Structure 1
């Protein structure tokens, strides 16, 4: 069989032309499309990875902020609990203090009331004793109770011991103030003269005197200078009697307890 080289060459040329045409208009666009597709996919993957990283970063930041918020919230709750406990303790301490103060005030008020009642009772007792004594002396003696009081006081002045006499003289000579004589009743001129005479027997001269009437005293007379005082009254006897009775009462209570 004889080969037709013209045909062979024509077919080769046709094949080469076909290959060139396919490469230029088919393979190359397909390869470019595939390459662009790959690039697009790679870009999308890169973008997705970037977005994923950003999302992870945002998630981490959110978690961090959430943890910070939880920590801050816990700290605030602990602080609020601590402040509440401190305030509660403060209110309790204040309430205890107020209760203690109120207890002390009530005890003091009760004590003051008892003392006032005791003072009133003592005053009433003294007044009653004075009234009875005055009446009894008035019936038994020709002189009044006031005269008896002056006489007893004059005797008390004359009976001053040496130590008190020195103190009286020292205080009298060191002071320019008059000698104060207080009494529960108005002293007559005769009574005042008797007292002056008794004091003069100690001072050796006529001193200055200031006679006053004190209604709070109960049948008593008081002589006083700046630092020296001499007095006599039924009040002292009644107070002594009251203390004696109170002592006996306490002793009786102790005996009963035993």
Structure 2
């Protein structure tokens, strides 16, 4: 069998050309496409990983912010609760103080009303006793009350203790302001003269006296000079009645001090 080397060479040449053509126009583009696809896939995977990492970071940041917000909200809620409780206590305390002040004012107003009523009752009682005593003395002894008062006052003046007489004598010394004799009624001239004479004899001096009437000395006579005072009135005897009335009006009140003797000399 004869070999046609020309044909073999042509076929070899054709095969080499075919291989070169396939490699240049088919195999290399396929390799390039495969490499490009692999690169694209790798880039996508890297991008997905980066996005996943960013998402994890953002999620952690969000969770931290959410936890911080919950903590701040809890703190604000606790503060608001504490402030509301403190405000409630303050308002309750103010309301209690206002109630106490109102109760005190009401109690003071009641005490003032009771004192006014007590004073009114005592004053009316004094006037009634004055009228009854005047009528009784006039009916039984045929002596008016005023003249009897002058007699009692003169006797009290003579019976003054030495210490009280010394104090009153110092106030009645010559050259001093005239002593004032006050009475609820206007003393007639003879009774004024009787008192003047009794004072001069008692203090062994010519004492200047000025006679006045006043609503204060209910049924009685008062001698005052230089801050010293000698008084005899039925008001002293009515003080017990006044205290009894006060005890009825205000049972919880403390008992008043015992009344002074009507002959006491007050500075």
Superposition TM-score tier, normalisation by shorter sequence: 0.7 to 0.9
Partners in 2 of 1:143 and 1:88 — Cα distance? 76
Partners in 1 of 2:241 and 2:175 — Cα distance? 36
Which has the higher mean CA deviation after the structures are superposed, 187-196 or 33-42? 187-196
Say if 1:182 and 1:214, in contact at 8 Å, map to a contact too.
yes
Say if 1:175 and 1:226, in contact at 8 Å, map to a contact too.
no
The 3 A distance-change label for structure 1 pair 201 and 61 is farther
> Which stretches in structure 1 are left out of the alignment for 5+ residues?
251-258
How far 1:163 moved relative to its partner?
0.7
Counterpart residue number, 2:17: 17
For 1:26-45, what aligned pairs fall within 5 Å after superposition? 26-45=26-45
Partners in 2 of 1:175 and 1:32 — Cα distance? 147
How far 1:231 moved relative to its partner?
0.6
The 3 A distance-change label for structure 1 pair 63 and 147 is same
Say if 2:220 and 2:233, in contact at 8 Å, map to a contact too.
yes
Partners in 2 of 1:237 and 1:80 — Cα distance? 68
The 3 A distance-change label for structure 1 pair 37 and 235 is same
For 1:172-187, what aligned pairs fall within 5 Å after superposition? 172-173=172-173, 176-187=176-187
Q: Secondary structure at the match of 1:230?
A: strand
For 1:1-258, what aligned pairs fall within 5 Å after superposition? 1=1, 3-173=3-173, 176-240=176-240
Which protein has the bigger helix share? 1
* Corresponding pairs, count: 248
Q: Secondary structure at the match of 1:215?
A: coil
The 3 A distance-change label for structure 1 pair 226 and 33 is farther
How far 1:157 moved relative to its partner?
1.6
The 3 A distance-change label for structure 1 pair 33 and 121 is same
How far 1:60 moved relative to its partner?
2.6
Q: Secondary structure at the match of 1:212?
A: strand
Q: Deviations over 1:180-222 (max 9, x none)?
A: 3221112233333333333333444334444332123311111
The 3 A distance-change label for structure 1 pair 99 and 244 is closer
Aligned-residue CA RMSD (Å): 3.0
Partners in 2 of 1:74 and 1:213 — Cα distance? 83
How far 1:174 moved relative to its partner?
11
Partners in 2 of 1:27 and 1:174 — Cα distance? 157
The 3 A distance-change label for structure 1 pair 34 and 164 is same
